Structure 1
Amino acid sequence: MRDADYQIVFSKRNYDIFLREGVSAEKLYILSHPLARNTREFFERVYLNKFKKYKENTKIVSLMLPGGTEIGFRKNDYSLISIEEREKNWIETIKLIKKILLGWKIYIKPHPNTKNINKIKGSLETISKNIKVVNPQEPADKYIVIADVIIELPLSVSTVLFTASLQCPEKPILSLGFLHEFLGDYYKDFEGIEYIDDKEKLINILKLIRDDKYQKKPKVKLGSEGFSNIIELLEYLC
């Protein structure tokens, strides 16, 4: 990426990451994501609003289940994280969420590439009658729109939380990293997303959400180096 004439990123955070990786500031340009621009109204009208009809009277947690994460490695000692350990952690975390957010509906949205979906569905739906594992091929946008809180289980590295932070920036969005693995802190210090690697912290935050006392930090707007649309950016470069 250092050899490219230009590098276009969607956020100031990615801009800073590219700088640290050695990309020249003269080559970097921020193009705000469509959900952060005037086109947001179009997205909401023709696409996102259709999911609102699925919103229920009860409170909803949308749990995003990552795909392609059968094994992992811890950062501190490179030890293996087996699929059995990962699934055990998922179950413990879901039970904790169910216990604190008592009576809430929990939708578990697996990644489209999730394997053994029938096995996962069987093991997770037995935890509570309020838990439903949905079709992996359904759009995550639906469960972002209808949720009161969005949580991604480890390994939390997918783009779904990034999308949620733009789609519904006012909602609590949590990235869990209890296994302390490589890339597990991908969303650490990510604006609009709360990274949690400690269960006590999760308990405290869930209680705040339950009691309607949770407050998000206000998002910082892009600096003057950001462009509002692709035409504006291309005209500048040309």
Structure 2
Amino acid sequence: MPWSKVPREDPWKAGPVRLPYTDRAEAGRVLARRLAPLGLEGAVVLALPRGGVPVGHEVARRLGGPLDVLVTRKIGYPPQPELGVGAIAEGGSPVFDRELLGRLGLDEDDLAPVVEAERAELVRRVRVYRGGRPLPETAGRAVVVVDDGLATGGTARAALRAVRGHRPSRLLLAVPVGAAETVRALEAEGWAERVVVPAAPWEFRAVGQWYRDFGQLADDDVIDWLARPGAGA
């Protein structure tokens, strides 16, 4: 069941955001300031690796809650893997773009080998990032899912559904920048109590266009950010 509707916060109410962001850390600080008034002190911050982790670190430091990763994987169209037709998050089931599958003449069974491969990579990343330990306990707690941006929203959608299954008391999605159409779609679906996006441009090609420094992160970078002091326990 969707969350009760919360009036949408105009992303420009707190003042315009200067784009592009310098890097993910600066974007995280901007996002943290937008989250601070929402009564989320001590919330569990779950960052989508790799790019969401530097953003999540700044959010967790401001809210005083624990930071961890929620591993997600895109499910790609086999002839064109960069085209996402779905996504999967740890602890959840695959979430597919059924409209796109229909246009491509595919059904879920056609993607079984891709899903199996992405599950294996998901397990590998959990082992690398958390040593295989489980996610933090989120039942009855406020949870903020964080990424560095929203393009199609596939991985964010899978993450929210997975976390929702653990019955948090509150669940928010927070990203520094997202395609306006995707932001509105996620708001309408109601998997999160609130979608917090300081900047939601209508002309949106890729997340990286809104950052000066959008270098690719490696597994070691994720581990380094998770080990940095500042977040609560």
Interval containing the TM-score (normalised by the shorter chain): 0.3 to 0.5
Greater RCO, 1 or 2 (C-alpha within 8 Å, sep 6+): 2
Answer with 1 or 2: which has the greater Rg.
1
Q: What is the TM-score normalised by the length of structure 1?
A: 0.32
Q: What is the TM-score normalised by the length of structure 2?
A: 0.33
